[in-house]
Amino acid sequence: MPKSDLILLAMDESPILGLLERALHASGYAVSRAQDSESLDRSLLETTPALLLITQTLNGKNGLDLCRIILERFPTLPILLYADHDDNALFKKAVKVGISDFLYPPLRIDDIVNAIVHTQKRAERMGDWVRREVRRTTVSLQQRVDEMETLVKLGGTIQSTLDLDSVLTSVVTAAVELTGAEEGQLLILDDQTSELYMRAGRNFEENFARTFRLPVKDSIAGQVIHTGQAVSFCQDSPNKIKTSFLVYALIYVPLRIGGQVIGVLGVDNRQNKRPFTQHHELLMSVLADYAAVAINNARLFETSEQERAKLDTTIASIQDGVILIDKNRNILLINPAARKAFGLGLGDLTGLPVLNAVTHTDFVGILESISENPLKHHEIAFDDGRVFNTQYVPVAEIGAVITLEEITHLKMLDRLKSDFIHTISHDLRSPLTAIMGYVELLDRVGPLNDQQKQFVRHVQNSAQNITSLVNDLLDLGRIEAGFDTRKDEIALETIVHYTLDNLNQQMVDKNQNITLEIQQNLPPLRGNPIRLRQMVDNLLVNAVKYTPAGGSLTIRLLAENNQIIFEVIDTGVGIPTVDQPHIFEKFYRASNAPKNTPGTGLGLAIVKSIVENHNGRIWLESTVGKGSKFAVVLPASTAEPEIAQ
């Protein structure tokens, strides 16, 4: 014991103080003194004494209470209690607090020194034990930390690599390292042969691992497959666990995917007899789970790759163009037909903004107006005469798909049909005028009987119908050909009022009510007054015609962003969704058009042509049985529209 050890005396002024100090000095100790709890605190922190000797009370405070607090902060500090007399009850309490020894009068110098030496020795032994324990715990903690690090690293590898071989080899390597085993293997069940083969191994000869096959029947690995329970053992004589080698100790844990055991992860010792622990078995189970996750990921990836390849082939072989874009309008996929349509070559376009790759004006226009124009069908016309029908369909979570269907041949047919109709209509006009004229003359050349008069009326009605059909057709031809070059400043609300006046009687007859929502001070339009009247007329006539008696109509006229918005809303029969894309085609009548309602299916085709000739847009929203809304947007006169020539 180094004689310079410091003994801290915590005591009030007392006759024994001098005796103690002398005795301790004489035995070679350094001595310092604290007279109250504050100076005791300070001394403990500043001087690190080898032992504390404290009296039963210190400056009025209970010595044992002070010791309790001190030992919480300095648990290894040896403390000697100096009691006023031999007091068993006090000593029992002191032992509970953790006091090392006691002194009480009468004091002898030998007793003092012996008690101090004895207490210090005990404290030293305690210190040695604590240090040993700390070292042992540190080693075991370090081991756990190493294990955790290995597992975390392995988890990261599984997440980041798709190379199953390297992941499984890492799992087996980790199993060998964490258990300290001689060798490790990952066996997978071959369902066809009911044999296990080695998918990954550690410390096995390569050739052995490659050719290794173990029947499930009568093998320990097979038992794990069957029962789904881990197996571990250790014994003095080596056990022949497989047809090919003997081991002293092993752990086999099952590899499960979706509740099914698909293989076994194992480690073993063939040379030494070192046993494995339960903790090793636990680690092996975690590693087996890792391996199962990796195998499952690889299988899922393989399946999704196969599906993707199938989808790629399908989309590539579709004759229509397909472009898939994300929410930021970057290309996710573009098939050969779409590349061919826009002449985009073979370069990789994935990730490129679609409007950088495809710069055709019609295409750009469609994408730019898509948010405000809910129409899904658009046309893209190329200078070489090709025409594509384009559909833009939003795809939830992804973005949108744009399809392109070539309709050049249909367009050509349509043109031929129009030309043919135009010629026929033209040629029909003169004979029709003649028929109408002569029929009117019939009763002037001689009296007709009642039946003859009835026949004449039939002839007149039919000729009138044919005449309006022919007029419609000729109008359509003229509008489509762009012959209407007349441009006037027009107040659309005046046309609306005029048309409504004409329709008033029909609405009264059908007991329909009408609501007008016409904004004040609407800007005028520049356009052809005859055609715009035709447009308003057709839409309002339809609304009255296709709305049953008692229904209601709303007409809305407003200006927004230099545009006039004209809406005709009715509570009529509505238009089935399947008919909606075709409703503006010539001669098209919806499948639910009431049988007794006359019509040719030309009105809306005329309306659409007029709207387009005025650089406007038209669309419809309709629900069968609830009603329809036809919306027309035309540029206001301040927006200086160009009427197509």
Pick between residue 392 and residue 546 the one whose CB is nearest to ligand ADP.
546
Pick between residue 157 and residue 554 the one whose CB is nearest to ligand ADP.
554
Max CA-CA distance within the chain? 168
Provide the minimum distance between the beta carbon of 471 and ligand ADP in the complex, in angstroms, as a whole number: 13
| # residues contacting ligand ADP (CB under 6 A) | 22
CA atoms within 13 A on the CB side of 2: 7
Pick between residue 306 and residue 592 the one whose CB is nearest to ligand ADP.
592
The binder of ligand ADP chosen from 224, 267, 323, 583 (CB under 6 A) = 583
The binder of ligand ADP chosen from 198, 261, 575, 632 (CB under 6 A) = 575
Pick between residue 440 and residue 509 the one whose CB is nearest to ligand ADP.
509
The binder of ligand ADP chosen from 590, 610, 611, 633 (CB under 6 A) = 590
| Spatial separation of the C-alpha atoms in residues 329 and 352, rounded to whole Å | 8
- Interaction residues for ligand ADP, span 602-641 (CB under 6 A): 602-605, 628
Pick between residue 11 and residue 535 the one whose CB is nearest to ligand ADP.
535
- Interaction residues for ligand ADP, span 301-360 (CB under 6 A): none
Pick between residue 138 and residue 511 the one whose CB is nearest to ligand ADP.
511
- Interaction residues for ligand ADP, span 369-398 (CB under 6 A): none
Residue type, 34: A
Long-range Cβ contact pairs of 200-205 (< 8 A, separation 24 or more): 200/165, 200/168, 200/169, 200/171, 200/172, 201/172, 202/169, 202/172, 202/173, 202/175, 202/176, 203/176
Provide the minimum distance between the beta carbon of 306 and ligand ADP in the complex, in angstroms, as a whole number: 47
Pick between residue 91 and residue 588 the one whose CB is nearest to ligand ADP.
588
The binder of ligand ADP chosen from 281, 581, 599, 639 (CB under 6 A) = 599
The binder of ligand ADP chosen from 573, 611, 618, 632 (CB under 6 A) = 573
Give the x/- contact pattern for ligand ADP in 88-127, rule: CB under 6 A: ----------------------------------------
HEC secondary structure over 243-289: CCCEEEEEEEEEEEECCEEEEEEEEEECCCCCCCCHHHHHHHHHHHH
- Which residues are paired to 403 by β-bridges? 322, 391
Pick between residue 287 and residue 575 the one whose CB is nearest to ligand ADP.
575
Q: Which two tokens stand for residue 435?
A: 């028929």
Residue 579 neighbours by CB under 8 Å, 6+ apart: 588, 590, 591, 592
Provide the minimum distance between the beta carbon of 588 and ligand ADP in the complex, in angstroms, as a whole number: 6
Helix (H/G/I), strand (E/B), else coil: 487: coil
- Interaction residues for ligand ADP, span 431-470 (CB under 6 A): none
Pick between residue 288 and residue 539 the one whose CB is nearest to ligand ADP.
539
Provide the minimum distance between the beta carbon of 600 and ligand ADP in the complex, in angstroms, as a whole number: 5
- CB-count burial class (<10 Å; 0-12, 13-18, 19+) for 484: buried
Instruction: Judge whether 568 and 518 are in contact, CB under 8 Å.
Output: no
Compute CA distances 4 → 119, 216, 281, 381, whole Å. Answer: 16, 74, 54, 105
| Spatial separation of the C-alpha atoms in residues 332 and 322, rounded to whole Å | 11
Pick between residue 29 and residue 546 the one whose CB is nearest to ligand ADP.
546
| Spatial separation of the C-alpha atoms in residues 189 and 197, rounded to whole Å | 7
The binder of ligand ADP chosen from 201, 572, 616, 635 (CB under 6 A) = 572
Provide the minimum distance between the beta carbon of 589 and ligand ADP in the complex, in angstroms, as a whole number: 3
Q: Which two tokens stand for residue 624?
A: 């069968």
Provide the minimum distance between the beta carbon of 390 and ligand ADP in the complex, in angstroms, as a whole number: 23
| Spatial separation of the C-alpha atoms in residues 79 and 58, rounded to whole Å | 14
Instruction: Judge whether 270 and 246 are in contact, CB under 8 Å.
Output: yes
Provide the minimum distance between the beta carbon of 549 and ligand ADP in the complex, in angstroms, as a whole number: 14
The binder of ligand ADP chosen from 238, 336, 523, 601 (CB under 6 A) = 601
Q: Does 296 bind ligand ADP (CB under 6 A)?
A: no
Q: Which two tokens stand for residue 113?
A: 């020194």
Compute CA distances 240 → 186, 219, 245, whole Å. Answer: 18, 9, 6
Crossing angle between the packed helical segments 529-545 and 603-613, to the nearest 10 degrees: 140
Provide the minimum distance between the beta carbon of 546 and ligand ADP in the complex, in angstroms, as a whole number: 3
Pick between residue 366 and residue 610 the one whose CB is nearest to ligand ADP.
610
- Interaction residues for ligand ADP, span 539-568 (CB under 6 A): 542-543, 546
Provide the minimum distance between the beta carbon of 411 and ligand ADP in the complex, in angstroms, as a whole number: 20
| Spatial separation of the C-alpha atoms in residues 281 and 296, rounded to whole Å | 22
Provide the minimum distance between the beta carbon of 379 and ligand ADP in the complex, in angstroms, as a whole number: 19
Instruction: Judge whether 262 and 289 are in contact, CB under 8 Å.
Output: no
- CB-count burial class (<10 Å; 0-12, 13-18, 19+) for 68: middle
Provide the minimum distance between the beta carbon of 581 and ligand ADP in the complex, in angstroms, as a whole number: 12
Pick between residue 232 and residue 538 the one whose CB is nearest to ligand ADP.
538
Helix (H) or strand (E) holding 63: helix 63-73
Q: Which two tokens stand for residue 431?
A: 């004979």
Q: Does 593 bind ligand ADP (CB under 6 A)?
A: yes
Pick between residue 438 and residue 587 the one whose CB is nearest to ligand ADP.
587
Stretch that binds ligand ADP, among 237-245, 415-423, 484-492, 583-591 (CB under 6 A): 583-591
- Which residues are paired to 554 by β-bridges? 515, 569
Pick between residue 380 and residue 606 the one whose CB is nearest to ligand ADP.
606
Stretch that binds ligand ADP, among 29-37, 170-178, 426-434, 593-601 (CB under 6 A): 593-601
Instruction: Judge whether 426 and 474 are in contact, CB under 8 Å.
Output: yes
- Interaction residues for ligand ADP, span 521-540 (CB under 6 A): 538
Pick between residue 336 and residue 599 the one whose CB is nearest to ligand ADP.
599
Stretch that binds ligand ADP, among 83-91, 272-280, 457-465, 592-600 (CB under 6 A): 592-600
HEC secondary structure over 4-25: CCEEEEECCCCHHHHHHHHHHH
Provide the minimum distance between the beta carbon of 619 and ligand ADP in the complex, in angstroms, as a whole number: 13
Q: In the block, which residue shows the tokens 């990921």?
A: 297
* Strands 387-395 vs 377-381: parallel, antiparallel or unpaired: antiparallel
The binder of ligand ADP chosen from 519, 600, 631, 644 (CB under 6 A) = 600
Provide the minimum distance between the beta carbon of 584 and ligand ADP in the complex, in angstroms, as a whole number: 8
Long-range Cβ contact pairs of 171-175 (< 8 A, separation 24 or more): 171/200, 171/265, 171/287, 171/290, 171/291, 171/294, 172/200, 172/201, 172/202, 172/265, 173/202, 174/150, 174/287, 175/202, 175/265, 175/267, 175/283, 175/284, 175/287
Q: Does 576 bind ligand ADP (CB under 6 A)?
A: no
Provide the minimum distance between the beta carbon of 618 and ligand ADP in the complex, in angstroms, as a whole number: 12
Provide the minimum distance between the beta carbon of 560 and ligand ADP in the complex, in angstroms, as a whole number: 23
List residues near ligand ADP by CB under 6 A.
Answer: 538, 542-543, 546, 570, 572-575, 583, 588-590, 593, 599-605, 628
